[in-house]
Amino acid sequence: MSVLVVGSVALDSIETPFGKVERVVGGSATYFTSAASLYAKVNLVGVVGEDFPRDSIAFLQERGADLRGLQMVPGRTFHWQGRYDFDLNTAHTLDTQLNVFATFHPELPQEYRKPRIVFLANIDPDLQMEVLDQVEGAQLSVLDTMNFWITSKKDSLLKVISRVNVVAMNEAEARQLVGSYSLLRAAREILSLGPDVLIVKKGEYGAVMFTESGYFVAPAYPLETVKDPTGAGDSFAGGFIGYLAEQGVGEHLNMRRAMIHGSVVASFAVEDFSIERLRRLTRADIQARYREFQNITYFEALGSD
Ligand code: AMP
67: enclosing H helix or E strand: strand 66-72
Q: Which of 213, 218, 214 is nearest to 236 (CA)?
A: 218
Name the percent of the chain lying above pLDDT 90: 92
Model pLDDT for residues 277-294, shown as the tens digit of each residue: 999 999 999 999 999 999
Is pLDDT above 90 for 105? yes
Residue 159, domain member (yes or no): yes
| Contact between 132 and 118 (Cβ < 8 Å) | yes
Residue 47, domain member (yes or no): yes
Residue located nearest, by CA, to atom 19 of ligand 1: 148
Is pLDDT above 80 for 194? yes
- Cα(39) to ligand 1 centroid in Å equals 22
What are the C-alpha distances in Å from 237 to residues 30, 36, 52?
A: 12, 8, 23
Pocket test for ligand 1, best of 99, 122, 143 (most atoms within 8 A of CB): 122
Question: In CATH, what number is assigned to the domain containing residue 42?
Answer: 3.40.1190.20
Q: What is the pLDDT of residue 87?
A: 86
| Contact between 37 and 278 (Cβ < 8 Å) | no
Model pLDDT for residues 233-266, shown as the tens digit of each residue: 999 999 999 999 999 887 777 999 999 999 999 9
Q: What is the pLDDT of residue 1?
A: 78
Model pLDDT for residues 140-161, shown as the tens digit of each residue: 999 999 999 999 999 999 999 9
pTM over 0.85? The answer is yes
Model pLDDT for residues 12-27, shown as the tens digit of each residue: 999 999 999 999 999 9
Residue 7, domain member (yes or no): yes
Do the strands 117-120 and 3-6 form a parallel or antiparallel pair, or are they unpaired?
parallel
Residue 119, domain member (yes or no): yes
Do the strands 140-144 and 166-170 form a parallel or antiparallel pair, or are they unpaired?
parallel
Residue 305, domain member (yes or no): no
Domain holding 85, by residue range, is: 3-297
- Cα(251) to ligand 1 centroid in Å equals 30
Residue 303, domain member (yes or no): no
User: What's the domain count of the chain?
Assistant: 1
Burial readout 211-234 (b: 16 or more C-beta within 10 A, e: otherwise): beeeebebbbbeeeebbbbbbbbb
> What is the residue-averaged pLDDT of the chain?
95
- Cα(297) to ligand 1 centroid in Å equals 30
What are the C-alpha distances in Å from 121 to residues 29, 33, 188, 293?
A: 6, 10, 22, 26
Q: What is the pLDDT of residue 204?
A: 87
